[in-house]
């Protein structure tokens, strides 16, 4: 939701399909493809792929950018677990604001309330 809000603020159209891995370009986000590949590699188990993704991202955005990118990946890898383990629902206003792209991207299948 904040990705779209950022785009609206700056009058830029980001391709939200980037978050599902359905597109292979930057999606309108600077170095978007490298960021996505880095996130995928950090959460994966292929050490060589991670080393390549890390080196490519560092070359593109510098060490400070890489450090902040790794921080965001780490943080959301954790906060997702808090959300999943506590059964926390989306806030009503966030649910309303994101309903269209959640449906378009098929994200509602991840709704914790749907789990038995």
Partner 1 sequence: MSELYASAPIAIRGDLAAAHTRAWERLGRPGTWWDGGQRAAIAAETRHAPSCALCRRRQEALSPAAIEGKHDSLGVLPEIVVEVVHRVRTDPARLSEGWFRRVITAGLTEEQYVETVSVVAHVVAIDTMTRGLGFDLLLLPQPEQGSPSRYRPAGAKPGGAWVPWLEPGDLTEQEAGIYPAGRPAANIMKAMSLVPDEVKSFFDIVSHQYQGPLEMRDFSREYRAIGHAQIELLAARVSVLNQCLY
d(C-alpha 32, C-alpha 50), whole Å: 16
Site string for partner 1, 21-60 (x = CB under 8 A): x-----xxxxxx--xx-xxx-xx------xx--x------
In the chain the first and final C-alpha atoms are separated, in Å, by 27
* Dihedrals phi, psi of 92, to nearest 5 degrees: -55, -40
Q: Rounded distance, CA 71 to CA 45, Å? A: 18
Q: Compute the half-sphere exposure of residue 71: CA atoms within 13 Å on the CB side of its CA.
A: 6
Identify whether the C-beta of residue 113 lies closer than 8 Å to the C-beta of residue 87.
yes
Binds partner 1 by CB under 8 A, chosen from 59, 76, 99, 104: 76
Q: Which of 13, 24, 59, 72 binds partner 1 (CB under 8 A)?
A: 72
110 is an interface residue for partner 1 by CB under 8 A: yes
Looking up tokens 């930057």 gives 26
Q: Does 83 bind partner 1 (CB under 8 A)?
A: yes
Tell which one of 23, 49, 82, 100 touches partner 1 (CB under 8 A).
82
Structural tokens at position 109: 């299948």
7 or 56, CB closer to partner 1? 7
Binding site residues, partner 1, CB under 8 A: 2-3, 5-7, 9-10, 12, 14, 16, 18-21, 27-32, 35-36, 38-40, 42-43, 50-51, 54, 61-91, 102, 107-108, 110-112, 115-116
């Amino acid at each position: 939701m904040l990705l779209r809000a950022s785009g609206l603020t700056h009058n830029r159209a980001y391709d939200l399909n980037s978050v599902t891995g359905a597109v292979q370009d930057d999606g309108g986000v600077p170095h978007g493809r490298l960021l996505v590949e880095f996130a995928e590699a950090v959460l994966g188990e292929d050490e060589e792929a991670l080393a390549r993704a890390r080196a490519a991202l560092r070359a593109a955005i510098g060490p400070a950018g890489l450090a902040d990118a790794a921080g965001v990946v780490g943080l959301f890898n954790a906060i997702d677990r808090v959300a999943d383990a506590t059964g926390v629902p989306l806030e009503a206003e966030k649910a309303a604001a994101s309903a269209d792209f959640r449906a378009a991207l098929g994200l509602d299948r991840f709704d914790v309330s749907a789990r038995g």
